[in-house]
């Protein structure tokens, strides 16, 4: 009995996508019927109602064609200029227009960027849309699953994001599917792994630094601060520097080094 129940459950889960598609088709069909009925109430004529719907479809198609072909439609331009003169409506219209343009853009020069950002904390990566930028500061929209139109707006520096080749449509598909449709998984996985490796390398690097600089040091070719991939390299350089400075400098000071966690400090003492 339990085995039969398991098979029935698996079969039902397998048909869920088909069920959702059927529901959407029924919803669109019902919406179309309701719209036709509403228009018929005003026109009181099936012919006029059909004509209005046909003209509406033609106008929408023409606007879509001109926008796709030329990047701008005369009808939309007139609407933009008209609504731009109405203070309250202008703000809402411009905001909604910018959001819809995020998903509509087809121009390669105006292609919207999709990046990865660590949010809400380190080592948790999420896709985000770049809404605007100024120099090295970016405004991102971080969408939430399964609705990509809801989310959070954050401001970050460019160094805190990772660029991807994802399109807005691909990122939205990933979000709507709640990650089940892992698009370009090889690229995303490589970005996250490489960031982790670079972070580990950065944490393991050791700095060699002079605590104070005397006149002889300022005249020498030594650097006041250096960075090494390993602590062993930094210790070797510190030892060589101290020996060299103790032998060749004016002998008014003596030099020794002190080892800390990620830093080697060369100290200067009066003789």
Per-residue pLDDT reduced to its tens digit, 143-174: 988 887 788 999 999 888 888 888 888 888 89
How sure is the predictor about 271, in pLDDT bands with cuts at 50, 70 and 90? confident
Element (H, E) at 29: helix 16-43
Per-residue pLDDT reduced to its tens digit, 23-67: 888 888 888 888 888 888 887 877 888 888 888 888 888 888 877
Question: Using an 8 Å Cβ cutoff, are 253 and 214 in contact?
Answer: yes
Q: Which residue ranges make up each domain of the chain? A: 13-85, 109-197, 206-270
Burial 118-128 (b: 16+ CB within 10 A, else e): bbeeeeeebbb
- Pick one of 2.30.30, 3.40.50, 1.20.120, 2.60.40 as the CATH number of 109-197: 2.30.30
Find residue 151's DSSP bridge partners: 143
Q: Residue 213: phi, psi to the nearest 5? A: -125, 120
What is the predicted pLDDT for the residue at 109? 45
How sure is the predictor about 17, in pLDDT bands with cuts at 50, 70 and 90? confident
pTM: 0.51
CA distance 160 to 142: 14
Per-residue pLDDT reduced to its tens digit, 2-16: 777 777 777 777 777
């Amino acid at each position: 009995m339990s085995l039969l129940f398991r098979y029935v459950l698996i079969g039902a889960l397998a048909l869920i996508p088909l069920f959702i598609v059927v529901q959407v088709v029924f919803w669109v069909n019902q919406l179309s019927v309701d719209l036709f009925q509403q228009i018929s109430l005003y026109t009181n004529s099936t012919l006029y109602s059909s004509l209005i719907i046909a003209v509406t479809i033609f106008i929408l198609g023409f606007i879509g064609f001109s926008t796709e072909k030329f990047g701008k439609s005369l009808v939309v331009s007139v609407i933009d200029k008209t609504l731009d003169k109405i203070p309250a409506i202008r703000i809402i219209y411009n905001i909604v227009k910018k959001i819809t343009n995020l998903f509509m853009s087809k121009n390669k020069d105006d292609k919207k960027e999709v990046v990865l950002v660590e949010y809400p904390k380190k080592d948790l990566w999420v896709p985000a849309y770049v809404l605007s930028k100024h120099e090295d500061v970016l405004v991102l929209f971080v969408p939430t699953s399964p609705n990509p139109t809801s989310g959070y707006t954050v401001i970050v520096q460019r160094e805190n994001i990772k660029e991807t080749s994802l399109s807005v449509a691909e990122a939205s598909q990933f979000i709507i599917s709640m990650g089940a449709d892992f698009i370009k998984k090889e690229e995303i996985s490589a970005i996250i792994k490489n960031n982790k490796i670079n972070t580990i390398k950065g944490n393991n690097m050791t700095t060699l630094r002079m605590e104070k600089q005397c006149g002889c040091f300022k005249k020498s070719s030594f650097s006041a601060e250096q960075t090494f991939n390993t602590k062993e390299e930094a210790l070797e350089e510190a030892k060589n520097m101290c020996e060299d400075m103790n032998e060749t400098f004016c002998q008014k000071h003596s030099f020794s080094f002190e080892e800390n966690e990620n830093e080697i400090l060369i100290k200067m003492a009066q003789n």
